[in-house]
Chains A and B, each alone.
Chain A
Amino acid sequence: MPELSDEIALKLAAQGDQEAFGVLYERYVSRIYSYIYYRTGNQHDAEDLTARVFFRALRHVENYTDRGLPLSAWLYRIAHNLVANWHRDNSRKKEIPLDEIILVRHGGDLPEMVLIENEEKENLLKVLHRLPDDRQQLILLKFVEHLSNAEIGQVMGRSEGAVKSLYHRTLLSLRDDFNHPLMSGTTESEKQE
């Protein structure tokens, strides 16, 4: 079963084959979880929303028609909608326990280096969470999920050009928000030169 293509597994799942749906689930659960985890910032909500994504997909798999939209794009869309509802339901966005996400220690690195690195990551994630929904989605799909602009366009329902343009504007706004910690190093080194 695991060697089934998405298309065949989808057809089987639409006919009620739960094993085929299980194959698709195994294939995409980590990616969907990772995306939701970055959007919610905590494991509990990420697990809850991931489960809802797949239950919703299971309920609607019969109606899923292949219109050139890959299954992953469909799942990301469901995830995006559920995360948007989650943010709406939580009138004040929940505090993001950034430490959980960022404290990834690389073996062999000096503790000071790890601290600096984590501080930079923490700043980046704080700035990211202040971005509008669509920009957060774009950044996560690009850097966490490693999707191409065309694939991101399919998920977001935009053209590749529109994604490129939005990405550039997002980078500029990130640079403005994130200016001091990141750029001070560059400026200092330039000054020394």
Chain B
Amino acid sequence: MDDAQTSDLDAIEKMMVSSLQPVSPRPEFVEGLHRRLTDPMSPTVRFTRRFSYQFVLLVLATLLSGIIFFLTASRVIISLIKEFQLVNPR
């Protein structure tokens, strides 16, 4: 490597040393995130196993309700159709 090339690279290094300074986060952000990370009651912290279990139960209950609703609605519609045929025979 010749001298000119070395001095070019040195100049770039010097510029990077002076330009790339660490940037500090906002203190409110640091404190807020600390609270969220270490507060077990915070809902935004993480999904604990218990929460996941509850979530699965909720999904199952929703599915079951959906099936019951679907069956009931089908029976109602079928009854209405039958009723309509009785009232208006061909």
Scan A106-118; emit 1 where CB is below 8 A from any B CB, else 0: 0000000000010
B contact residues, range: 20 to 34
Q: Establish whether residues A47 and B8, one from each chain, have CB atoms under 8 Å apart when the complex forms.
A: no
Chain B residues near A171: list those with CB within 8 A.
9, 12-13
Q: Establish whether residues A59 and B46, one from each chain, have CB atoms under 8 Å apart when the complex forms.
A: yes
The smallest beta-carbon distance between A183 and chain B, in angstroms, is: 6
Chain B contact surface mostly: helix
Q: Establish whether residues A19 and B38, one from each chain, have CB atoms under 8 Å apart when the complex forms.
A: yes
Q: What's the Cα separation between A124 and B17 when bound, in Å? A: 11
A contact residues, range: 35 or more
Q: Establish whether residues B25 and A50, one from each chain, have CB atoms under 8 Å apart when the complex forms.
A: yes
Within 8 A of A (CB), among B1-49: 7-9, 11-13, 15-26, 29-30, 33-34, 36-38, 40, 45-46
What would 8 A/B residue contacts be, using CB atoms closer than 8 Å? A22-B34, A34-B22, A34-B24, A58-B45, A117-B18, A121-B18, A140-B20, A182-B11
Residue positions of A touching B, CB distance < 8 A: 18-19, 21-22, 25-26, 29-31, 33-34, 37-38, 43, 46-47, 50-51, 54-55, 58-59, 101-102, 104, 117, 120-121, 124-125, 139-140, 143-145, 171-172, 174-175, 178, 182-183, 186
Residue positions of B touching A, CB distance < 8 A: 7-9, 11-13, 15-26, 29-30, 33-34, 36-38, 40, 45-46
